[in-house]
């Protein structure tokens, strides 16, 4: 199991599932990943001998930093922002006049502690488990990108199994994904409370509509490069 973003080097078009501020809530995310769009995405993995069993989650990515709450796009200006390998997220932070820098997550705590970067974005569970609250003051619940996980197994191994065993695996995976998602959702409030106890200032007053408008050039850059088929399908879900 790994984050979907870790596969975009092989399948960059799947970055259309992670465009900033496009998927705005879990209901939209589940409809995207559990429906035809998710099935099409899963089929792409078969080209790399991977059988996707389902799409668990890490939740939504949020922004932490040491300067202040992130309420509107201008609040990102000048922040030295650690990013992952997501092309779209790097483009977003650059567009909003932050200074994105790709740093391995294993080195991120030290980079924040020493001031190499001022800010980072991860789901709440990562903020807590990596103890970023020790080196970051502000947590803003931007929900700017849904962080799907990919649960997969060796494709040849799956294909070699009898059909009844394949069905058992797929049914068990569905139960596991549903359970993990519910656990992820239910634990967020307690994790946020724990982060506040550790001294973080949590801000939920984020103008997401302003952000969504501001990042639309990132969407266009992506579709110009990789085509708009996937993005149009996602938007058909998120705008209905």
* Six token digits for residue 236: 């058909």
Calculate mean pLDDT across residues 3-24: 95
* Six token digits for residue 172: 């068990």
Tell whether the model's pLDDT for residue 240 goes beyond 90: no
**Residues with Cβ within 8 Å of residue 140, at least 6 apart in sequence:** 62, 63, 64, 65, 69, 70, 71, 202, 203, 206
In tens, the pLDDT along 36-77 reads: 999 999 999 999 999 999 999 999 999 999 999 999 999 999
Per DSSP, the three-state class of 20 is coil
Assess contact for 137 and 200: CB atoms under 8 A: yes
In tens, the pLDDT along 113-166 reads: 999 999 999 999 999 999 999 999 999 999 999 999 999 999 999 999 999 999
Residue 222 zone, left/alpha/beta (φ > 0; ψ -120 to 50; rest): alpha
Regarding the domain with residue range 2-228, which homologous superfamily does it belong to in the CATH classification?
Bacterial extracellular solute-binding protein, family 7 (3.40.190.170)
* Six token digits for residue 59: 């939740």
The closest alpha carbon to 1, from 147, 191, 143, belongs to 147
Please, what is the angle between helix 26-34 and helix 163-197, to 10°?
160
Beta strand pairing status for 119-123 and 80-83? Answer: parallel
Find tokens 């990108």 and name the residue: 145
Assess contact for 144 and 61: CB atoms under 8 A: yes
- The Cα 17–Cα 72 span in angstroms is 23
pLDDT at residue 20 in the model: 98
**Residues with Cβ within 8 Å of residue 229, at least 6 apart in sequence:** none
- The Cα 211–Cα 156 span in angstroms is 43
């Amino acid at each position: 199991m790994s984050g979907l973003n870790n596969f975009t080097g092989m399948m960059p078009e799947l970055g259309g599932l992670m465009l900033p501020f496009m998927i705005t809530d879990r209901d939209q995310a589940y409809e995207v990943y559990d429906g035809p769009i998710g099935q099409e995405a899963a089929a792409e993995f078969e080209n790399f001998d991977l059988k996707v069993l389902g799409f668990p989650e890490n939740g939504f990515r949020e922004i932490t930093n040491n300067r202040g709450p992130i309420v509107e796009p201008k609040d990102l200006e000048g922040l030295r922002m650690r990013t992952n390998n997501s092309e779209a997220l790097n483009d977003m932070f650059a567009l909003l006049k932050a200074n994105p820098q790709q740093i391995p997550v294993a080195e991120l705590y030290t980079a924040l502690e020493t001031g190499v970067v001022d800010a980072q974005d991860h789901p709440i569970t990562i903020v807590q488990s990596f103890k970023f609250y020790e080196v970051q003051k502000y947590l803003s619940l931007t929900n700017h990108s849904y962080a799907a996980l990919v649960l997969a197994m060796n494709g040849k191994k799956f294909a070699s199994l009898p059909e009844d065993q394949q069905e058992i695996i797929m049914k068990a995976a569905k139960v596991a994904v549903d359970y993990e998602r519910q656990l992820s959702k239910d634990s967020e409030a307690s994790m946020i409370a724990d982060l506040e106890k550790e001294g973080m200032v949590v801000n939920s007053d984020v103008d997401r509509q302003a952000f969504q408008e501001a990042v639309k050039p990132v969407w266009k850059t992506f579709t110009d490069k990789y085509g708009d088929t996937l993005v149009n399908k996602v938007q058909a879900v998120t705008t209905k």
